């Protein structure tokens, strides 16, 4: 059939197909160049690099985080199913290792700093129908290969511009929309020059009577009527919310004042974000390169000898999880100054609810921190599902009074 007799769509498809190899090869070359410049060898990394990625090897003990605080946090950790779960990380965890190497190189943080207890984000690898009770200590799986692959595809995407907190905010938003969580939450991302994003932040910090996406959709509509345009990030979140199915019923929610919030992240949530990135458009024209191209380009990266070493993966993943959990409780204590011992968030026996704490402490920030008077959390509250707890030891003052 001659070109003149073929449909316009068929001709366009052929033209795109002919151009694709050139576009793909250019993308791969650009990725290789950027990767070579940024990668850190596991033979030549410094202790400062590790602290940046996962936090210090030992917590700083000061008036904000006492030895008693740390002792009880570690006691809770030793008794938790989470510890048993992470002990199963090993040489078979190749997708997790690949994710770590990409995340540390491209975003300068561990993947646990993205799906982080500090942002209320924990891995949910369980079937949706499984019910957990406060005293349930069943072991769960480390991050599945599917979860690691989906997060890998997100980490290498250009939309985030290397900003792990923007990615974490998008994951928070996805879980909140999927569960129709209406409790206050703190967006993980930093301040934005977009008035719409700052308005979204204000709305997020308060309890809501409506689905979150409905609120930001109506706000964008009102701004458009006044001739104002939203930023690309705001427009993307608005679009993302529109493709997330709302739950058929609104579950009851109760936000604890003593414990970090829990947004249980599923592989499907990450895939929903990828779908939104691949279909987000203006007037029918896709705005982003398809995620598969980024993903395939990333497979060209030379991962051998890149930080971290395979033999250190379990240690670093555990260290990062404990650091992010510790930071989550430091933030909670900044809001609630009651002297009690903390509990460690569990990564997959948790239900969604609540919102992240009020102050972001980056990995390593606590190294010189004595700036805030932070008390310990109230441990007398009943345990939440997915939160392991231990009886509180009497303080020295209480022992003396006896």
More confident residue, 372 or 236: 236
The answer to whether residue 34 is domain-embedded is no
- Please give the Cα distance from 239 to 244 (Å, whole number): 9
Highest mean pLDDT among 20-24, 59-63, 180-184, 385-389 belongs to 180-184
pLDDT for 156 equals: 93
List, as one string, the DSSP characters of 40-85.
-BTTT--HHHHHHHH--SSPPPSSSS-HHHHHHHHHHHHTSHHHHH
Buried b (16+ CB within 10 A) or exposed e, 293-329: bbbebbeebeeeebbbbeeebbebbbbbbbbbbbbbb
The answer to whether residue 14 is domain-embedded is no
pLDDT for 256 equals: 67
The percentage of residues in the chain with a pLDDT greater than 70, rounded to a whole number, is 66
Q: 276: domain range?
A: 41-401
pLDDT tens profile 87-132? 999 999 999 999 999 999 899 999 999 999 999 999 986 533 233 3
The answer to whether residue 219 is domain-embedded is yes
Q: How many domains does the chain have?
A: 1
More confident residue, 205 or 13: 205
pLDDT tens profile 275-318? 999 999 988 888 888 898 888 888 877 777 788 999 999 999 99
- Please give the Cα distance from 166 to 346 (Å, whole number): 23
Residue 137: pLDDT band (50, 70, 90) is very low
What token pair was written down for 265? 């992240």
Does the reported pTM lie above 0.85? no
pLDDT for 40 equals: 66
pLDDT for 380 equals: 31
The answer to whether residue 6 is domain-embedded is no
More confident residue, 118 or 346: 118
Query: Lowest-confidence range among 57-61, 78-82, 134-138, 222-226?
Result: 134-138
Let me know: does 156 contact 294? Beta carbons within 8 Å: yes
Nearest to 204 by CA among 195, 152, 213: 213
More confident residue, 182 or 337: 182
The percentage of residues in the chain with a pLDDT greater than 90, rounded to a whole number, is 35
- Please give the Cα distance from 335 to 355 (Å, whole number): 13
**DSSP letter at 306?**
B
- Please give the Cα distance from 246 to 253 (Å, whole number): 16
The answer to whether residue 33 is domain-embedded is no
pLDDT for 17 equals: 65
The answer to whether residue 4 is domain-embedded is no
pLDDT for 331 equals: 79
Contacts for 114 with CB less than 8 Å, ≥ 6 apart: 103, 107, 121, 151, 155, 164, 167, 168, 171
The answer to whether residue 273 is domain-embedded is yes
Does position 266 have pLDDT exceeding 70, yes or no? Answer: yes
Residue 60: pLDDT band (50, 70, 90) is confident
The answer to whether residue 15 is domain-embedded is no
More confident residue, 342 or 132: 342
Does position 365 have pLDDT exceeding 60, yes or no? Answer: no
More confident residue, 379 or 220: 220
Residue 332: pLDDT band (50, 70, 90) is confident
Does position 62 have pLDDT exceeding 70, yes or no? Answer: yes
Q: How many CB atoms lie within 10 A of CB 21?
A: 9
Residue 153: pLDDT band (50, 70, 90) is very high
pLDDT tens profile 197-234? 998 999 898 888 899 999 999 988 888 888 888 899 99
């Amino acid at each position: 059939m001659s070109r003149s007799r073929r449909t316009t769509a068929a001709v366009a498809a052929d033209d795109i197909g002919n151009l694709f190899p050139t576009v793909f090869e250019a993308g791969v070359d650009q990725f290789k160049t950027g990767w070579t410049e940024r990668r850190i060898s596991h033979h030549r990394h410094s202790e400062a690099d590790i602290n940046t990625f996962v936090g210090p090897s030992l917590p700083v003990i000061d008036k904000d985080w006492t030895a008693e605080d740390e002792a009880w946090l570690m006691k809770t950790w030793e008794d938790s199913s989470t510890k048993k779960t992470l002990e199963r990380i090993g040489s078979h965890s190749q997708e997790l290792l690949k994710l770590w190497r990409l995340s540390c190189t491209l975003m300068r943080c561990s993947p646990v700093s993205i799906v982080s207890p500090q942002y209320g984000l924990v891995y949910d690898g369980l079937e949706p129908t499984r019910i957990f009770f406060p005293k349930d200590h069943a072991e769960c799986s480390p991050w599945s290969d599917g979860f690691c692959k989906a997060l890998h595809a997100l980490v290498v995407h250009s939309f985030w511009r290397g900003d792990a907190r923007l990615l974490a905010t998008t994951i928070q938003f996805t879980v909140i929309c999927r569960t129709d969580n209406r409790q206050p939450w703190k967006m993980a991302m930093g301040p934005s020059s977009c008035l719409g994003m700052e308005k979204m932040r204000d709305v997020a910090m308060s309890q809501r009577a409506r689905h979150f996406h409905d609120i930001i959709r109506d706000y964008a509509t009102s701004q458009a009527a006044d001739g104002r345009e939203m930023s690309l990030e705001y427009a993307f979140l608005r679009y993302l919310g529109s493709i997330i199915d709302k739950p058929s019923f609104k579950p009851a929610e109760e936000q604890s004042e003593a414990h970090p919030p829990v947004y249980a992240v599923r592989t499907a949530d990450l895939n929903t974000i990828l779908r939104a990135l691949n279909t987000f458009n203006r007037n029918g024209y896709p705005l982003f390169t398809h995620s598969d191209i980024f993903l395939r380009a990333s497979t060209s990266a030379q991962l051998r000898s890149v930080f971290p070493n395979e033999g250190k993966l379990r240690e670093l993943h555990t260290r990062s999880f404990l650091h992010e959990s510790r930071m989550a409780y430091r933030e909670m204590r900044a809001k609630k100054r009651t002297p009690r011992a903390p509990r460690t968030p569990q990564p997959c026996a948790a239900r969604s609810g609540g919102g992240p704490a009020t102050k972001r402490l980056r990995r390593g920030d606590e190294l010189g921190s004595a700036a805030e008077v932070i008390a310990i959390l109230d441990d007398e509250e009943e345990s939440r599902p997915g939160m392991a707890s231990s009886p509180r030891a009497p303080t020295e003052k209480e022992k003396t009074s006896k």
